[in-house]
A and B are shown apart, each in its own frame.
Chain A
Amino acid sequence: MVTTLAMPEPVAPPAAPRPVSVAPAAPVNPAARAVIEIDDVDFCYGASKALHDITLNIQERQVTAFIGPSGCGKSTLLRCLNRMNDLIDGAKVTAGQIRIDGVNIYDPRVDVIELRKRVGMVFQKSNPFPKSIYDNITYGLRIQGQKNKARLDEVVERSLRGAALWDEVKDRLHESALGMSGGQQQRLCIARAIAVEPEIILMDEPCSALDPIATAKVEELIHGLKKQFTIVIVTHNMQQAARCSDRTAFFYLGKLIEYADTRTIFMNPANPQTEAYVSGRFG
């Protein structure tokens, strides 16, 4: 199932200045296909329902942002996409389907390990392992059995360059990753994720613990990464969603309220709740 994107008409800037600045809409590839299809998904933590009837498609090589007030289920939905929620006792998708490249990822025949190699994740709290920078980057390949030193070296350089970190750390690859600054640590986690060459990268509030300069670097990085990867980013920072995403989904109380072009969501939302949220009146 491939949905074609409805291209919104350019909207005139509103009369009153909005609290967020929106980058000019990225040229949307009309041939983009939906890599992730979320269909009528309900999700429960034990008896409490966290997601109600979510339906949305995520387009290939775009940045899709999930926004909404804290506790609305953004992380829950994100963690459904690489089945990290499997780790939580009693948590499960109770209705609907999530398909990646057309395959229902909750099918019992799906290999979760392989799925997670294809769908990488960057966490809210950056979690570099207490190992060297080199060992962090090569972790994913090493557990797959890759031992070839030349190949590992090459991946380290490529991943660190990909995460705009190479020049900063190339002289201390064998020092502990915990000696890096917070922003570098988060970019290292991104480098570690891209080292296993995933198709999709999920990011759960990747900048929530970073200062504005480090945040800007990560955002710039995200912008570059979407040439190669499909990115889903959860953020509570609306400016961030506005700056770096192509499409934005607004959630409230476990429901998807509105999903559209980022420009539309911020400039011309259809739903009054979205309007209230993006203009900072609640959340």
Chain B
Amino acid sequence: MSAPTTTAAAIFNRSTPAKRVEQGAFWLLRLATYFVLLSAATIFIDIGWKGGRVVFQKQAPFINVPFLTEAPETLSVFEFDGKKMALGDRAFRQFSAAHEEKMKHVAVETYAYSAGGIFPNIVGTVLLVFGSITIALVLGVLSAVYLSEYATDGPFIRFLRLSIVNLAGVPSIVFGLFGAGLFVLTFKFGMSLLSGWLTLAFMVLPIIITASEEALKAVPKGYREGSLALGATKFQAITTNVLPYALPGILTSSVLAIARVAGETAPIMFTAAFVMRDELPWQGLSKWTDFFFQGVMALPYHIYNVASKIPQNEYTRDVQYGTVFVFLFTVAAIAMTAVILRQRLRKKYKW
């Protein structure tokens, strides 16, 4: 094939190997993206459909209130007068009392956690997330300010940074065991909110420190110098004229951290999470400090339990999907608050 001679022939309606490769690559990239989209959609539709049916209902008030406001109960399933009955703890006890004679001969199957709701788990997860994110943000931002503004680069600081980066790669189960060893046993905090908060906070510290350092670095040097040139101390310059502008970036990192903290099971199962607890965190406290030293139920741990620790059947399915649905919604809601806060700050400190 000889090269086209005129410009018109050269530019008009030609297919070259390079162009065909480009077309092929384009389709490959497009397919990969669609595949990811499809997988994500499948997961969300599955959870949304099956979980949504548990959480929402056709009749008013359209939301399954008991599921969201009650504690998990054991489900009792039995056949009574030819009718199949499925009752939670309290209902079953009432029913048995009412039909004492007949019930003696009825075979009852029980399924743990398959009745009632997941309110204590929601409460526990929200408490764990807010507490640990607060601790992680305070510790993380302070460390980031020290590292990026005060520390002079040297072997020690380089070692410190390397350790922080490596901390991000440590599996969460290791953090769980570390927390159990240090906070639960050595410091004698027991299985408690405090142990869980600290363990989760340590787990997400690398995310927060790294992102905060980036956010601090992204603040134009002119603001820092401008403050100092007006006679501000370094600390004044940082607190009044650097940190406020870095906050939106820091909050972005906390959205990631929230998702991790809310979702991890391993770090809390040795430090804070109970399979079942009758009281809610604010019930039965003899003094206010007891609040920090009590264990809680949590959504991810509950999912783990109902998905792997109890017999699987059509009754347990509902609680599994329902819990996952509520869990995703809760995480999204908490992350949303961070996003809204960030948007507010962005508007306030636009640069």
Contacts and interface: CB of A to CB of B under 8 A. Distances in A.
A143 B230 contact: yes
Given A89-B152, A143-B236, A127 B230 contact: no
A233 interface: no
B34 interface: no
A239 B233 CA distance: 37
A231 B220 CA distance: 26
A114 interface: yes
Interface stretch (A36-44, A118-126, A165-173): A118-126
Most A-side CB within 10 Å, residue of B223, B226, B228, B350: B226
Contacts of A125: 222
A74 interface: no
Contacts of B349: 130-131
A116 B350 contact: no
A123 B225 contact: yes
Interface string A192-219: 1100100000000000000000000000
Interface in B304-350: 349-350
A240 interface: no
Given A113-B231, A116-B228, A143-B232, 16 more contacts: A84-B229, A87-B225, A89-B152, A89-B153, A121-B229, A127-B226, A129-B226, A129-B227, A130-B350, A139-B240, A139-B241, A143-B230, A143-B233, A144-B231, A176-B350, A192-B230
B228 A196 contact: no
Contacts of B225: 84, 87, 123, 127
Contacts of A123: 222, 225-226, 229
Interface string B210-238: 00000000001011011111111100100
* Max chain A Cβ within 10 angstroms of own Cβ: one of B228, B231, B232: B231
A139 B222 CA distance: 15
B230 A178 contact: no
In this complex, the member of A131, A144, A176 whose beta carbon has the largest number of chain B beta carbons within 10 angstroms is A131
A246 B225 CA distance: 28
Interface in B248-304: none
A113 B351 contact: no
A140 interface: yes
Contacts of B233: 113, 143
B245 A116 contact: no
Interface string A89-122: 1000000000000000000000001101100110
Contacts of A131: 349
Interface string A145-178: 0000000000000000000000000000000101
Nearest to B349: A130
A262 interface: no
A75 to B, nearest CB: 12
B229 A116 contact: yes
A230 interface: no
A114 B349 CA distance: 28
Interface residues of B, number: 21
A243 to B, nearest CB: 25
Of A129, A139, A189, A196, which is in contact with the most chain B CB atoms at under 10 Å from its CB?
A129
Contact of A196 (B220, B230, B240): B230
A127 B226 CA distance: 7
A120 B240 contact: no
A130 B350 CA distance: 6
A139 B227 contact: yes
A110 B70 CA distance: 68
Contacts of A140: 230-232
Contacts of B152: 89
> Which size bracket describes the interface of A in this complex?
20 to 34
Contacts of B229: 82, 84, 116, 120-121, 123, 193
A143 B240 contact: yes
A117 B351 contact: no
B224 to A, nearest CB: 8
A176 B152 CA distance: 34
Contacts of B223: 127, 129-130
A127 B222 contact: yes
Contacts of B222: 123, 125, 127
Contacts of A144: 231
A127 B228 contact: no
A193 B152 CA distance: 29
Contacts of A84: 225, 228-229
B88 to A, nearest CB: 57
Interface in A220-272: none
Interface in B187-226: 220, 222-223, 225-226
29 contacts: A82-B229, A84-B225, A84-B228, A89-B152, A113-B231, A116-B228, A120-B229, A123-B222, A123-B225, A123-B226, A125-B222, A127-B222, A127-B225, A127-B226, A129-B223, A130-B349, A139-B227, A140-B231, A143-B227, A143-B231, A143-B232, A144-B231, A178-B350, A189-B226, A192-B226, A192-B230, A193-B229, A193-B230, A196-B231
